[in-house]
Structure formats: structure tokens, C-alpha cells
Amino acid sequence: MSGRGGRIETLGVVLPGDKVLQLDSEDCMKEIFLGPGLRRHENNVYATRSGPLKKTTQNIYYIDNYQRRYIPLKGQFVVGIVYKKKGDNYIIDIGGSEYALLSLLCFENAPKKARKEMRPGELVFGQLLVAERDMEP
């Protein structure tokens, strides 16, 4: 099978928490790209989703799985829809299991008097600063 990344090779089936790769000094010299479902911790790469582990000829590793719900991760850029305003915060739907919270003071160059007013249904582009299991993003 060939696609955008060249020939795709299946390396086996992994479960969340499985160690997928151990990076040596040789691996650090060549570029390795981690796609969806993989997370690097120190010199090891772990699976965060279950499914077949795939590798392309361009050293792109990813886990191919079908997922209906978005799982927010810290540092990701997201597009959300304003759901409603609650006090000094906006409730934003980013497609995850919980709504995200956006403070009025998060906007650049926005003093308290010149607040950005948004209505439900407007789109917002931002980066997730907090994305933990027990907290809303």
C-alpha cells in the first residue's frame, strides 16, 4: 500500500502503555516523526492508543485506530465553538468529552475595560494550556 508517506509497513498491534521504541544515539541522528497515538518520554516512545503500529518509508510512526471522540492534549492547537458565557469565562466546545474554559483575560492586549465580546456559535482558535484527565481543558 502506498500513500503520502510512501510505503506503509505494519509493525504489530499495541495497547496503551506499551513501549514501542527505544531511541539510541543512532536514532536521534536520523529524523523520526511521531504521529497520533504515540508519546515520547525520555528515550522511550510509548503508545497512548490501541491499534496497529504503522511506519512509513519517511520514518513516520503512528497508530492507526478509529476514534470518535477527540482527546485533548496539552499544547495542541484547536478550533472551538463558543457555547455560552459564564461569568468572566467562555465555555468552548472543542469536540472532547468536556467543554473547554476560556478566560476573558486570555486575549492579547485585552484590558479589563476593553473585553472581547463573543456570542454563542462564534469560532475560536487557540492552544490548550491545561489538558488533564480530571480537569476541563
Give dist(CA 137, CA 135) in Å, integer. 6
**pLDDT reported for residue 1:** 44
Helices within the chain (DSSP H only): 25-29
Count of CA atoms in the C-beta half-sphere (13 A) of 105: 4
With CA atoms as reference, report the closest residue to 60 among 78, 82, 38: 38
With respect to residue 133, please indicate whether it lies within any of the assigned structural domains.
no
**pLDDT reported for residue 2:** 46
Please give the model's pTM, rounded to 2 decimal places: 0.51
Least confident of 16-30, 32-46, 66-80, 83-97: 16-30
Q: Are the C-beta atoms of residues 81 and 93 closer than 8 Å to each other? A: yes
Q: Are the C-beta atoms of residues 20 and 46 closer than 8 Å to each other? A: yes
Domain total in the chain: 2
Domain that holds residue 58: 2-63
pLDDT beyond 70 at 121: yes
Indicate if 51 and 8 belong to the same structural domain: yes
Give dist(CA 81, CA 94) in Å, integer. 7
Instruction: Determine how β-strand 60-63 pairs with β-strand 123-127.
Output: unpaired
With respect to residue 85, please indicate whether it lies within any of the assigned structural domains.
yes
**pLDDT reported for residue 8:** 84
